[in-house]
Amino acid sequence: MKPVIFTGAAVALVTPFNADGSVNYDELGRLIDYQIANGTDALVIAGTTGESSTLSEEEHVDVIRYAVEHTAHRVPVIAGTGSNATATAVMLSQEAEKIGADALLLVTPYYNKTTQNGLYVHYKTIAESVSIPIILYNVPSRTGMTIEVGTAAHLAEIDNIVAMKDAVGNISYTANLIARCGDSLTVYSGNDDQIVPMMSLGAKGVISVLSNVMPQETHDLCAAALAGDYRKAAEMQLRYLSLIHALFIETNPIPVKEAVNRIGYAAGECRLPLCCMSEEHSALLEQEMRALNLLG
């Protein structure tokens, strides 16, 4: 059986920026401490929610390095090192391994829209360049392509490809994936609104946007599911559903960065081409946050 990187809730952490657009490392440290103090089981740094697509390569590596050093082995640090250029993904992955990341999160190569064979070779090439565990990231709504179940099973034969973040949004895909891959590929929900149904099929937790503002609650939801208390887990899932929807009312991470700002952290604004929320959507987000007593 392959190693399990974490069980429970990993936060897909935002990257805080200063007013001039530079990375706010002091605030990143505060956010990491807040997450760990409130039950988060692992940190995903420089992923989609961390605006990896608008970080320079130097910033990308520096953000991972800071997170690894500041976390200091309190929880696993999973570095987002995916790219649509295989060579870039190899370089970032090797740098993350040298820095001391515990695992890698590798999104499918967006825009190129390679074949399934190309996808296999892409991931195999990256996996052979490092020794730390790899989580595949399947999010067709953002990348334009899907890791088919057969391809996932083939990739799971590679020793250090150990998991998938499944953000396909199709529970039938999840069922077929887990049935086909079994213990050779740990599955994590990539959608906060599907944590409970996916865990009921055997997923081990979530890589979560919601955790940015509700880390303890997201951890507790997953803990209930892992303990087999699906009634409690489902009640929590449904209680947070309206906020989850509000966090995705505009492109992630636009709403969640505003939400993090509203709970008292200086996440700053997103980098262009992502921009501030509309007033209408901002008001809706505030309403849902107040309903869950997140604004004091």
Q: Active-site residue numbers?
A: 137, 165
Peptide bond into 197 cis (omega under 30): no
Residue with token string 């890791």: 147
Query: Which residues face 207 on adjacent strands?
Result: 10
In whole angstroms, what is the distance from residue 188 CA to residue 249 CA?
Answer: 22
Contact 155, 125 (CB under 8 A): no
Distance (Å) of CA 143 to CA 136, 232, 263: 13, 34, 31
DSSP code, position 181:
H
Q: Which amino acid is at 61?
A: V
Determine the longest span between alpha carbons in the chain, in angstroms.
51
Which own/partner contact pairs does 64-67 have at CB distance under 8 Å and 24+ positions apart? Answer: 64/95, 64/96, 64/99, 64/101, 65/99, 66/25, 66/28, 66/29, 67/13, 67/28, 67/32, 67/43
In whole angstroms, what is the distance from residue 218 CA to residue 197 CA?
Answer: 15
